Structure 1
Amino acid sequence: MPRHFREEVMFEPFDRKVDRRNFLKISGMLGVGVAATTVMPVSEALAFDKGLHKVTRTKNTMGTLVAITVMHPSVDQADAAIEKAYAEMERVTRLLDRFDSASPVAALNRDGKIDGMPEEMAQVLTAANYYHRISGGTFDVTVKPVVDLYQETYRKTGKVPATKAIEEAVALVDGGMLQLDVQDGKLMQRRSARLMKPGMGVTLDGIAKGYVIDAGAKALEQENIAHALINAGGDIRAIGGKGSDRAWTVAVRHPDKDIAYADKIRMQNGAVATSGNYEIYFDKERLYHHIVKPTDGMSPHELASASVWAKDVTTADALSTTVFVMGSHKGTQFIETLPDCEALVISRINKKTATKGWKSAA
């Protein structure tokens, strides 16, 4: 039986490199030994708990394997809700794909401004600005020039970009120069955004996947689904446990693929997301990968992975990226200051550090 259908869910942080490939469209830049696989949609329905049926469907979307499990008295209603969740996730993905020339994100990057952007994009950019502010600039969606530089340079030469080229790209990174039409923390009706420096651009790969998963969860809740779990390539969103006050058990996979898992946690409601140096990397040593520091354009070297538990995947996604850049000590201290958030980090030398409230399953 595929592991996505087990009661214990393996939460694996994108170790297969292919997980974000289609979402980010960074073709040819995924490191050594990448193997793409085609996974057909899979469904399962089982009688489970006091009149509830466990209905699971798995398919490829967002460039990763997404499994949605619903506990519901009606198999037909559960399956219909899952279909609506997939449709919503795919709709929102199209809006946030900067590589689609017809998307509003591509329009912002092309023109340096956008008016009347979709509400979904406005919400993601507003959240990005918030995490940029509270992280002291560590989380920054305007790193696109640096990411693009690495992508193009490695594609053409297989080498690290020249220092001067990196410095020029970093000069275009400034989340404070992404201006939104906001008043009192809320977007105005015009929903406009401006990149205030020519050559700037945004890449939402540090937050958009979480938002898409949350959109799928919202679609399930709108169909009156009270018990569900979404596992999108290792990013997890839990709704209401498995029924009868039973939590989902989630195994956090270790960044070393030869180690079964780093920890286990139990979840009824909430989310977990992980950022790691094995998601998309450019060299065998993984010293240069898709996560870069906005201050100097270099990849952080201390950590192998950073997992964050939060109320939703948007938050967990943004904060896991932030913690990865900050490092073990500063990152866990930062999470300690935030309500309803916990973190587990694993260093490159396999040292695990967790916030005080991170609770492993007994």
Structure 2
Amino acid sequence: MILVKRMRPLLGTYVEVGARAGSGAAAERAVDAAFEAVRTVHGRLSFHALDSDLTRLNRAGGEAVELQPLSLRVLRLAQAMMVATAGLFDMTVGGALVRRGALPDLGGPAPLARGEAGDLQLGRGWARLLRPVRITLDGIAKGYAVDLAVSAMRAHGATSGWVNAGGDLRAFGRHAVPVHRREADDTLVPLGALRDAAIATSHARAPDAAWDAGRPALIVPLSPAQPMAGVFSVLARKAWRADALTKVACQMAGAPREAMLRRLGGVLVLPAAADAGAPA
């Protein structure tokens, strides 16, 4: 098996792809297909691009907007996760993030700070916002891009490999991938090895923490006492699920958190973890 590795700037971070295949040419094709899949997700779901499906929806003023199947799929996943977590995962916080300067204001009705899952209406080939919320998919789209890239690699002949998009990592095949987590002080802590599973990490700052341009991601909590400051990693079968559940993990603690993560197909990963295996 020939291993080919490449890294490119995408999704506001660096995306690393590794593919093993029977020939170098096949591995190269798999890597190229992975990056094309990531670019597709970025183009459809970017909050920063005027021509993305997401921006067209946010600017539509309540009118129905025709969307690509990929965009509708991720919106459905995000809406379902918001319902399942009673809003701990919240796709409607774009307005709050625009007000804080964490996301750009690309136009449209003056937004609510946040809304409800029911503010998004989905149909066959279209979507509509029933109130002036700004949908942001930053908490799930990167993981979905990783999953789509893995599917593309397999379709192009890769027998094993990985995709790592700024800490959203998924590995497939029989070769395990070492996993390290970057802590708040920038030290790297080993978490073990990943095989046929995904892991995602989010860095949550205290609600009163100063703005840090080097760590621009923000989690808008349901309660003023949340999120708990720290670095949270969640293991799941797919990267979109792991990505979304890190936003839940930082807003709960103890047995209730463990129970919710398990119910939704995730497991909190601690630095002391040895070999990472996905939940059953």
Return 5+ residue gaps in structure 1 as ranges. Answer: 1-51, 154-167, 182-189, 346-351
Distance 1:120 1:147 in 2: 24
State which of 207, 218, 243 in structure 1 corresponds to 2:140. 207
State which of 226, 235, 250 in structure 1 corresponds to 2:179. 250
Q: Given residue 60 of structure 1, which amino acid in structure 2 is its aligned partner?
A: P
Matched, 1:343 2:271: no
State which of 173, 176, 180 in structure 1 corresponds to 2:122. 180
SS in 2 for 1:251: strand
Alignment of 1:298-337 (within 5 A): 300-327=226-253, 330-337=256-263
Distance 1:106 1:116 in 2: 12
Would the aligned equivalents of 1:275 and 1:320 in 2 still touch at CA under 8 Å? yes
Q: For residue 248 of structure 1, report the CA deviation from its aligned partner.
A: 2.1
| Stretches of 4+ aligned residues off by more than 4 angstroms | none
Distance 1:151 1:127 in 2: 26
State which of 225, 232, 253 in structure 1 corresponds to 2:165. 232
Distance 1:276 1:251 in 2: 14
Q: For residue 169 of structure 1, report the CA deviation from its aligned partner.
A: 4.1
SS in 2 for 1:124: helix
Alignment of 1:1-362 (within 5 A): 52-111=1-60, 112-151=62-101, 169-170=112-113, 172-181=114-123, 190-197=124-131, 199-242=132-175, 247-257=176-186, 259-261=187-189, 263-277=190-204, 282-283=210-211, 290-293=218-221, 295=222, 300-327=226-253, 330-339=256-265, 341-344=266-269, 359-361=273-275
Q: Given residue 177 of structure 1, which amino acid in structure 2 is its aligned partner?
A: D
Q: For residue 141 of structure 1, report the CA deviation from its aligned partner.
A: 0.4
SS in 1 for 2:163: strand
The CA RMSD measured in Å over matched residues stands at 3.0
Over 3 Å counting, the alpha-carbon distance change for 1:138 and 1:122 in structure 2 is: same
Q: For residue 314 of structure 1, report the CA deviation from its aligned partner.
A: 0.7
Q: For residue 61 of structure 1, report the CA deviation from its aligned partner.
A: 1.5
Q: For residue 301 of structure 1, report the CA deviation from its aligned partner.
A: 4.2
Encode CA deviations 1:19-38: one digit per residue, 9 max, x unaligned.
xxxxxxxxxxxxxxxxxxxx
Distance 2:126 2:251 in 1: 29
Would the aligned equivalents of 2:33 and 2:152 in 1 still touch at CA under 8 Å? yes
Encode CA deviations 1:252-300: one digit per residue, 9 max, x unaligned.
333321x331x4222221110011136xx7536x9x961102x35x583
Encode CA deviations 1:211-253: one digit per residue, 9 max, x unaligned.
11111111101112120111111210101132xxxx2222233
Return 5+ residue gaps in structure 2 as ranges. Answer: 104-110
Would the aligned equivalents of 1:303 and 1:327 in 2 still touch at CA under 8 Å? no
Distance 2:39 2:188 in 1: 31
SS in 2 for 1:203: coil
SS in 1 for 2:47: coil
Q: Given residue 320 of structure 1, which amino acid in structure 2 is its aligned partner?
A: T
Distance 1:290 1:71 in 2: 36
Q: Report how many residues are paired.
A: 267
Q: For residue 334 of structure 1, report the CA deviation from its aligned partner.
A: 1.3
Q: For residue 152 of structure 1, report the CA deviation from its aligned partner.
A: 7.2
Distance 1:274 1:173 in 2: 25
Distance 1:267 1:72 in 2: 19
Would the aligned equivalents of 2:144 and 2:240 in 1 still touch at CA under 8 Å? yes
Distance 1:54 1:250 in 2: 18
Larger Rg: 1
Over 3 Å counting, the alpha-carbon distance change for 1:289 and 1:219 in structure 2 is: closer
Distance 1:325 1:308 in 2: 13
Would the aligned equivalents of 1:107 and 1:113 in 2 still touch at CA under 8 Å? no
